[in-house]
Amino acid sequence: MVEQAANADAEAAEQGELFPDASASDELVGYRGPAACQIAGITYRQLDYWARTKLVGPSIRGAAGSGSQRLYSFKDILVLKVVKRLLDTGVSLHNIRVAVEHLRKRGVQDLAKLTLFSDGTTVYECTSAEEVVDLLQGGQGVFGIAVSGAMREISGTIHEFPAERADGGENIESAMTDELAARRRDRQAETG
* pLDDT, position 145: 76
Question: Residue 109 burial (CB < 10 Å; 0-12/13-18/19+)?
Answer: middle
Q: Range with the lowest mean pLDDT among 27-36, 48-57, 151-160, 168-177? A: 168-177
pLDDT band at 3 (very low <50, low <70, confident <90, very high): very low
The Cα 4–Cα 119 span in angstroms is 21
Kindly report the length of the chain: 192
CA-based nearest residue to 150, from 90, 74, 56: 74
- Other Cβ atoms closer than 10 A to 39: 23
Read out DSSP for 82-150?
A: HHHHHHHTT--HHHHHHHHHHHHTS-HHHHTT-EEEESSS-EEEE-SHHHHHHHHTTSS--EEEEHHHH
Output DSSP code: residue 163: -
pTM: predicted TM-score of the whole model, two decimal places: 0.60
How many C-beta atoms surround the C-beta of residue 64 within 10 A? 9
**How large is the average pLDDT for residues 86-110?**
80
Q: What is the structure's pLDDT at 132?
A: 62
From the list 116, 55, 61, the residue with the least C-alpha distance to 80 is 55
**What is the C-alpha R_g of the chain?**
19
User: What number is the average pLDDT over the span 78-90?
Assistant: 89
How far apart CA 56 and CA 103 sit, in angstroms, is: 11
Residue 99 CA to residue 83 CA, distance in Å, equals: 9
Task: In whole angstroms, give the CA distance from residue 44 to residue 52.
Answer: 12
- Please tell me the predicted confidence (pLDDT) of residue 23: 43
The residue with greater pLDDT, 103 or 96, is 96
For a pLDDT cut of 70, what percent of the chain falls above it?
69
User: Tell me: the pLDDT tens digits for 147-188?
Assistant: 888 888 888 888 888 888 888 776 655 444 556 666 777 887
